[in-house]
Structure 1
């Protein structure tokens, strides 16, 4: 797979606050803006945080979009997974977040 940074539509990172992922986004040299500041409302959700970010992203994702889910922290390394949204997303209802 030959991807460019511009092929990625969204990034689901750990979020302690809205500014947590900004240094990573700047390092990637992309103009991506986080979809939600949910952490300001619920606080630090720990290892579930990237999954909550993914849920917010999937609520408005379109077929063909590519999403990177990345969990990291506390000197435990990092794991990143690339998802591509399929046509199946249309069959599922969107959550009201």
Structure 2
């Protein structure tokens, strides 16, 4: 993860498909468009999501068009009442 990440309020670690995943939630995230930030590391893959006040997650990083969010991440977010923005 980049050195610009926020200090997480919570950290969760679990195995996903046999590989350790670390999920960091930053509840107090200072960003004009997002109330929270979720950082996920899984093997060599990394994602950063911004969560807006409508509980919608948007991919902030990797900063590429058409990044595919793995189904296990979408399921995890939905279980928390957060939808992933596919745009």
**TM-score by structure 1 length?**
0.27
Q: Which has the larger radius of gyration?
A: 1
**TM-score by structure 2 length?**
0.29
Give 1 or 2: higher strand fraction: 2
Give 1 or 2: higher helix fraction: 1
